[in-house]
Amino acid sequence: MDEFVRRGYAHPEVLVSTDWVASHLHDPAVRIIESNEDPLLYASGHIPGAVEVDWTADLNDPVRRDYLTREGFEALMSRLGVTPETTLVFYGDKNNWWATYAFWVFQLFGHRNARIMDGGRLKWELEKRPLTREKPSYPPTTYRAPERDDATIRAFRDQVLAHVQARKPLVDVRSPAEYSGERLHMPDYPNEGALRGGHIPGAVNVPWSRAINPEDGTFKPADALRAIYEGEQGLRPDDDVIVYCRIGERSSHTWFVLTYLLGYQRVRNYDGSWTEWGNLVNVPIER
């Protein structure tokens, strides 16, 4: 953790290094979780002992556009063989974009003993650390979770509209072309169904990936992050901030950066994001 203290993070304890993970591969008190955008990656090779959490199949309601229920979360945790005391370490592809998304969903159910492996899958592979295709099996547990907390770190459309009207900070973490309305989706990605392009009025554009060192996927130090979010955009740690993207996955990464690395007290992720806002009737849009 000393490395993360030196980087000046508000909560350095929420990150672990690849060295730390390598030394805890057989620690029964630790469960390593891989969560990717690419569904083939885990099967092609993963950190020994790591389990997979599929963001589509494991975290989402199969019918409604919503997350799993408390009962579904308890069943998932039982299947993963963890207890409330187990330290969960998330990592994945896309510079931990989907790992922070899974981390955020787990926080909706109050599993605070959770960490992110800095650098994710990219750094582990660059260091030529071991990967295996063997899927681990852990004895199921009896896990009890609280009801899903949709109030503290999650925002809904009516709350976003109220945020706009009150001129409170909004951060659009999509690409500049999506923000401007030039594109309805990221390059090489399908359109999720938004009928209009642009951004929520008053939102500033800070692409999520600016928080990352591209050479190894690690997070930039706190001073560099503050220069981006506070120096350039004027945000402050006591602001009431809502972040969004297209479906809430990229914005969960920025939520993690603002909340844990910079210590912001009130950051919510609008997971409806542009897929919802770009389809709503009679809401304001800027280009």
Q: What is the pLDDT of residue 192?
A: 62
Choose one of 86, 106, 126: the last residue of a domain: 126
Q: Where are the alpha helices (DSSP H) in 127-205?
A: 157-165, 176-180
Does the predicted TM-score (pTM) go above 0.75?
yes
What residue has token string 């603002």?
Answer: 258
Residues 64 and 172 in one domain: no
Tell me if residue 275 is catalytic. Answer: no
Residues 122 and 207 in one domain: no
List beta partners, residue 34: 52, 91
> What is the rounded distance in angstroms from the CA atom of residue 252 to the CA atom of residue 9?
18
Residues 167 and 273 in one domain: yes
250 φ/ψ angles, rounded to the nearest 5 degrees: -65, -35
- Give Cβ neighbours of residue 159 (< 8 Å, ≥ 6 apart): 242, 268, 270
* 154: amino acid identity, one letter: R
CATH number at residue 220: 3.40.250.10
Is the separation of the CB atoms in 209 and 95 below 8 Å? Answer: yes
Region 65-82: mean pLDDT is 97
For residue 136, being part of any structural domain is answered with: no
Choose one of 106, 126, 146: the last residue of a domain: 126
Residues 96 and 204 in one domain: no
Residues 119 and 161 in one domain: no
For the stretch 79-134, pLDDT in tens is 999 999 999 999 999 999 999 999 999 999 999 999 999 999 999 999 999 999 99
Residues 181 and 79 in one domain: no
> What is the rounded distance in angstroms from the CA atom of residue 56 to the CA atom of residue 36?
10
Q: What is the pLDDT of residue 3?
A: 93
> In the chain, how many domains are there?
2
What residue has token string 């920025």?
Answer: 254
Q: State the number of CA atoms in the 13 A half-sphere of 87 facing the CB.
A: 17
Asked if pLDDT for residue 14 goes beyond 90, the answer is yes
Residue 199's alpha-carbon distances to 181, 203, 277, in angstroms, are: 7, 7, 9
For the stretch 177-229, pLDDT in tens is 999 999 887 777 666 668 899 999 999 999 999 999 999 999 999 999 999 99
With CA atoms as reference, report the closest residue to 138 among 233, 49, 256, 205: 49
For the stretch 234-284, pLDDT in tens is 999 999 999 999 999 999 999 999 999 999 999 999 999 999 999 999 999
Asked if pLDDT for residue 55 goes beyond 70, the answer is yes
* 201: amino acid identity, one letter: P
Q: What is the pLDDT of residue 190?
A: 67
For the stretch 132-184, pLDDT in tens is 999 999 999 999 999 999 999 999 999 999 999 999 999 999 999 999 999 88
Residues 102 and 188 in one domain: no
Residue 144's alpha-carbon distances to 112, 119, 150, 198, in angstroms, are: 14, 31, 18, 42
Q: What is the pLDDT of residue 223?
A: 98
Residue range of the domain that includes 35:
2-126
Both tokens of residue 251? 């914005």
116 three-class SS: strand
Average pLDDT, the chain: 96
Query: Given strand 170-172, what is the order of strands in its sheet?
Result: 204-205, 170-172, 240-244, 266-269
Choose one of 103, 126, 149: the last residue of a domain: 126
Residues 106 and 184 in one domain: no
Residues 161 and 59 in one domain: no
Asked if pLDDT for residue 30 goes beyond 70, the answer is yes
For residue 285, being part of any structural domain is answered with: no
Instruction: Identify the active-site residue in 211, 245, 261, 267.
Output: 245
Q: Where are the alpha helices (DSSP H) in the chain?
A: 2-6, 18-23, 41-44, 70-80, 93-108, 120-126, 157-165, 176-180, 222-226, 249-256, 273-277
